[in-house]
């Protein structure tokens, strides 16, 4: 199931974070590099053996508990509150001043590789393991399914879990 987060792409050149873009309109995204660099869970350099160039895809999100705390403080100071965590995360990333973004407790989880030079994982789980080794924030909530029946069962469990309104703050 899709989580209500802001989708982003981060590019690395020789292991250094050089660019972060929003999904934008699907063709052209906004450059949010300086703002993404303020997110504590996003490393500025990869660890271990990594491709010379790699693009990772992920989601920036606002943990629910932190979102509620921010809205409470905004309300107490007479300011407008955010409608939902996704709008808060997206708005925080699009700030012109990275210090504003840095003041918000955003997090990121990566979920895939968009492009890479010299790295071709055979499976998605291989890509996950590589991203984890590189020090990128990956979700712990994934499982390798060995059959279509197992995929359906995992989907059923996930749907039930999400419909019980489990806090996204438990992610990744």
Poorest-pLDDT segment among 4-8, 83-87, 149-153: 4-8
Q: Is 154 helix (H, G, I), strand (E, B) or coil?
A: helix
Whole-angstrom distance, CA of residue 89 vs CA of residue 6:
6
> pLDDT tens digits, residue range 99-151?
999 999 999 999 999 888 889 999 989 999 999 999 999 988 788 888 999 98
List Cα–Cα distances, 136 to 28, 41, 73, 99, 163, in angstroms: 24, 8, 31, 23, 28
Q: Is 10 helix (H, G, I), strand (E, B) or coil?
A: strand
Whole-angstrom distance, CA of residue 107 vs CA of residue 91:
14
């Amino acid at each position: 199931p899709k989580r209500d987060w802001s989708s982003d792409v981060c590019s690395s050149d020789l292991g250094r974070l050089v660019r972060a873009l929003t999904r934008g309109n699907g063709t052209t995204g906004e450059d949010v590099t300086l703002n993404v660099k303020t997110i504590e869970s996003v490393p500025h350099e990869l660890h271990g053996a990594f491709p010379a160039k790699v693009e990772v895809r992920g989601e920036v999100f606002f943990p629910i508990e932190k979102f509620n705390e921010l809205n409470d403080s905004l309300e107490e100071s007479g300011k407008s509150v955010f409608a939902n965590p996704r709008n808060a995360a997206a708005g925080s990333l699009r700030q012109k001043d990275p210090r504003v973004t840095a003041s918000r407790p955003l997090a990121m989880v990566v979920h895939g590789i968009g492009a890479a030079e010299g790295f071709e994982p055979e499976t998605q789980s291989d890509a996950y393991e590589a991203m984890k080794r590189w020090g990128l924030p990956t979700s712990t909530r994934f499982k390798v399914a060995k059959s279509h029946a197992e995929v359906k069962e995992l989907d059923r469990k996930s749907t039930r879990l999400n419909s019980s309104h489990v806090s996204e703050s438990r992610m990744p």
